[in-house]
Structure 1
Amino acid sequence: MKYAFPDNFWWGSASSAPQTEGETLAFGKSATIWDRWFAEQPTRFHHGVGPQHTSTFYQHWKQDIALLKELNHNTFRTSISWARLIPQGRGEVNQEAVKFYNQVFDELHAQGITPFINLFHFDMPMVMQERGGWESRDVVTAYAEYAQTCFELFGDRVKHWFTFNEPVVPVEGGYLYDFHYPNVVDFRRAATVAYHTMLAHSLAVKAYHERHDGGEIGIILNLTPSYPRSQNPADVKAANIADLLFNRSFLDPALRGEYPKELVALLREYDQLPACQPEDKALLASGVVDLLGINYYQPRRIKCRDSQVNPDSPFMPEWFFEAYDMPGRKMNPYRGWEIYEQGIYDILTNLRENYNNPRCYISENGMGVENERRFDENGQIQDEYRIDFVSDHLKWLHKGISEGSNCLGYHMWTFIDNWSWCNAYKNRYGFVSLDLATQKRTIKKSGEWFRETAAKNGFDDQR
């Protein structure tokens, strides 16, 4: 069967500044929370590999963009580093950074690749974290100033902006579950961080719309459908609460300009609401996006709790539900994630039926595999499993589009194997293999498959 995609479909991949640039404390860049955390607790990072060891995009940007062109990308997402552009968080702009990003954007355009640029990818400047991070409204204002600076410096060439990538992750990791700095476990503080993030988002969206630059601005959300174990009302309720906390807490303000009433009621009942100001409501309403990026990796399987909550334990989302390990599920054993291709279709269907079918695209989808050198034949990694993963997701994406979903493209995570937070290089995700010792880049079999798919704007399923 032939799977053909709409004309002008966005074929590309996604990356981020903190995971690719390197030179983390060089060329004027200040430390981020990752630099600080690695300095304090290097054993939290796989094999002790910290944020300075990334895929060296700062040094190899021209070569890497040539590879993007070779793989027939027409679009590419990365991020600007706040700590590199404005090392003190506010005030003076680092001209070394301006030069670097100008070169990157100019070269992307020269190669016929449209830049999609994100403003924040988990990389809070340490100087801003020391002022309270996202718990501080002053930092919210500083972020808005940073966004304005980016629009002014680069808005003539960047027409697709994003305020945040996966904003729920710093909330979960930094303030609930201890897998990001500052390693706080406190739901009320987490709720404040989530709320202030969306205020910062709205300030940036409002400022961009007021510029009339002829582009668009959006947000990138990791949408993880919550599937109940059964249709028993207790399981359905549990899945709905999981959806409220992890998906709709960002999706509704981004697409509707307001929070779900059920979520507000739930947090009020347990005295977990963040402090609000009268002007916040109008600000949130002005933060409705032009374009939604959707990161999809796995589903969330949910069941009602089988036991009572320990009343002395910290208030947590798991007071309302438990994870459900569905028998027979297909797994990526290296990442510990379920592979459920239909989820991508279910997300698009939900957006079409319940959110007025917004302009959107798949901004990340990918498969991390450990020790890929096992699959090296004659100098190339034969990652058939990645081709299967991508093509099986694209089939469900194609079905969603054929039913009317307004999905404009597909970006893979990621282009070149890159550094991935505490996992460092444990799992490889790229279309291009990276030799850490030599920094040599080699296209994998999946990269060749993607090159052909993008060139033909689709693929034939031979199986």
Structure 2
Amino acid sequence: MKYRFPENFWWGTATSATQSEGHQAGHGKGENIWDYASHNFNERFFGGVTADDTSTFYQNYREDIQRAKDIGLNSFRTSISWSRLIPDGDGEINPQAVDFYNAVIDELNTQGIEPFINLYHFDMPMALQEKGGFENREVVDAFARYARICYELFGDRVRYWFTFNEPLIPAEAGYLHPRHYPYVTSFRRAAQVLHHIVLAHCKAVAAWRELNIAGQIGIIMDVIPVYPRSDAPEDLHAAEMADLFYTRSINEPILLGRYPDELIAILKEYDQLPVIQPGDCELIANTRIDLLGINYYRPRRVKARETLLEEPHGFMPERFFEEYIMPGRRMNTSRGIEIYPAALYDIAMVVKDRYGNLPWFVSENGIGISDEEQFMVNGQVQDDYRIEFLKEHLSYLHQAMVDGSNCLGYHMWTFIDCWSWQNAYKNRYGFYRLDLETQQRSLKKSGLWFKAVIENNGFEEAK
């Protein structure tokens, strides 16, 4: 069977500033929460690898962008580091950061690679986190100022802007299920953070529109589709609750301009509503994006709760559902998550049917495998598992497009093996292998396969 994609389809990869740039002393970068946490809570990070030791894109951007060109990428998503550009988050601009990001954007454009620039990828400046981070409403305005500065500095050469990557995660992982700094467990605080992130997004979009810059502005969502154990009413209700708290809670204010009525009713009942000031709901209602990025890695399978949930820290959404371990599910054992390519089709149909068929693209999708050296043959990682993963997901994406989904591209996570938050370099995702000791990059088999896909604007799969 032949899978052909439209002309001008975005074939690219995604990364972030903190996960790829690395640290270089004397270049003016301010500390962010990952710099701080990876040093001060080092035991939480696999192998003790800190944010200092990411993939040296800061020093090697020119050669790395050439590598992107070598495999045919026509688009490349990364982020600007707020704390590199504005070291304390709300003060003076770092001229060395301006020079760096100008050089990266110019080099991408010179090589014919479209820069997709994201403003926030989990990396709150530490100086602002010490003031409360997104719990503090003043930080919303600091973010809007930072966004405007980025547009003014780089907007003449960047056509695609994104306010946040996975905006639910800073609230959920930092303030509810404590995987990210500041490692808090409090639904009320998480809800306040999420509301302020929504406002920060809205104000950043407003700043972009006020400047009347050519291009498009959007946001990147992490979508984990929810599947019930069965069609029993109690399981269906469990799935509805999981979807309400972990998907609709952020998607609907951003994409539909309002919080779900069901969510508001539950939070009122349990006294968990965030503080919402006059004018907030109007701002949300009047904000619309041009383009949606969707990150997809795994499904969520749930069932009605069969045991009483202990809540030592107070209210938790999981009181309404619990995980369902489906017999026979296919697992990525390195990452401990299910592989389910068909969900990408389901996501596409949700965007089509629930969100007005908004223009969108796959902004992240990938498979992280540990100890990839075991698959090395003659100096090249033979990652056939990644090729198979790509084929399966792209085939479902293609079918969704045939069925009317307005999908414009596919970005793989990631280009070069990068530092993955608390997992550091445990699992590798890249088309290029990174040798941590020498920082040498070498193309994996999947990178050659993806190059052929781009050259042919598709692939053939025997049936």
The TM-score, its normalising length taken from structure 1, stands at 0.99
* Residue 266 (structure 1) shift: 1.3
Cα 1:313–1:38 change in 2 (3 A) is: closer
* Residue 268 (structure 1) shift: 1.2
**Residue 415 in 1 paired to residue 393 in 2?**
no
Contact kept, 8 Å, 2:384 with 2:446, in 1: the verdict is yes
* Whole-angstrom CA distance in 2 between matches of 1:25 and 1:403: 51
Contact kept, 8 Å, 2:185 with 2:313, in 1: the verdict is no
**Residue 120 in 1 paired to residue 127 in 2?**
no
Cα 1:25–1:37 change in 2 (3 A) is: farther
**Residue 167 in 1 paired to residue 144 in 2?**
no
Q: Which runs of 4+ in 1 moved over 6 A?
A: none
Task: Spell out the pairing of 1:383-422 with structure 2 (5 A cutoff).
Answer: 383-422=383-422
Question: In structure 2, what is the equivalent of residue 272 of structure 1?
Answer: 272
* Residue 308 (structure 1) shift: 2.7
Amino acid aligned to 2:181: Y
* Residue 41 (structure 1) shift: 1.4
* Residue 90 (structure 1) shift: 1.0
Amino acid aligned to 1:226: V
Q: Secondary structure at the match of 2:293?
A: strand
Cα 1:370–1:26 change in 2 (3 A) is: farther
Amino acid aligned to 1:362: V
Q: Secondary structure at the match of 2:52?
A: coil
Amino acid aligned to 1:114: E
Q: Secondary structure at the match of 1:52?
A: helix
* Whole-angstrom CA distance in 2 between matches of 1:387 and 1:457: 16
Write the deviation string for residues 15-34 of structure 1: whole angstroms up to 9, x where unpaired.
00000000166410010011
Unaligned runs of 5+ in 2: none
Greater mean alpha carbon deviation, residues 205-214 or residues 128-137: 205-214
Question: In structure 1, what is the equivalent of residue 446 of structure 2?
Answer: 446
Question: In structure 1, what is the equivalent of residue 237 of structure 2?
Answer: 237
* Residue 311 (structure 1) shift: 6.4
Contact kept, 8 Å, 1:376 with 1:382, in 2: the verdict is yes
Question: In structure 1, what is the equivalent of residue 79 of structure 2?
Answer: 79
Contact kept, 8 Å, 1:13 with 1:77, in 2: the verdict is yes
* Whole-angstrom CA distance in 1 between matches of 2:70 and 2:36: 37
The count of residues paired between Structure 1 and Structure 2 equals 463
Greater mean alpha carbon deviation, residues 135-144 or residues 202-211: 202-211
* Whole-angstrom CA distance in 2 between matches of 1:283 and 1:91: 26
* Whole-angstrom CA distance in 2 between matches of 1:233 and 1:266: 19
* Identity across matched positions, percent: 56
Question: In structure 1, what is the equivalent of residue 13 of structure 2?
Answer: 13
Q: Secondary structure at the match of 2:91?
A: coil
Task: Spell out the pairing of 1:61-460 with structure 2 (5 A cutoff).
Answer: 61-310=61-310, 314-460=314-460
* Whole-angstrom CA distance in 1 between matches of 2:335 and 2:29: 32
* Residue 170 (structure 1) shift: 1.4
Amino acid aligned to 1:350: V
Unaligned runs of 5+ in 1: none
* Whole-angstrom CA distance in 1 between matches of 2:203 and 2:285: 10
* Whole-angstrom CA distance in 2 between matches of 1:311 and 1:44: 23
Contact kept, 8 Å, 2:23 with 2:51, in 1: the verdict is no
* Residue 355 (structure 1) shift: 1.2
Amino acid aligned to 2:158: V
* Whole-angstrom CA distance in 1 between matches of 2:242 and 2:157: 39
Q: Secondary structure at the match of 2:51?
A: coil
Write the deviation string for residues 193-228 of structure 1: whole angstroms up to 9, x where unpaired.
111000000000111112221111111011010101
Write the deviation string for residues 57-106 of structure 1: whole angstroms up to 9, x where unpaired.
00000000000001110000000000000012112110000000000000
* Whole-angstrom CA distance in 2 between matches of 1:261 and 1:166: 22
* Whole-angstrom CA distance in 1 between matches of 2:349 and 2:63: 39
Cα 1:446–1:328 change in 2 (3 A) is: same
* Whole-angstrom CA distance in 2 between matches of 1:366 and 1:316: 29
Greater mean alpha carbon deviation, residues 299-308 or residues 98-107: 299-308
* Residue 312 (structure 1) shift: 5.3
Contact kept, 8 Å, 1:24 with 1:31, in 2: the verdict is no
* Whole-angstrom CA distance in 1 between matches of 2:88 and 2:290: 30
Cα 1:312–1:296 change in 2 (3 A) is: closer
* Whole-angstrom CA distance in 2 between matches of 1:190 and 1:99: 36
Amino acid aligned to 2:183: N
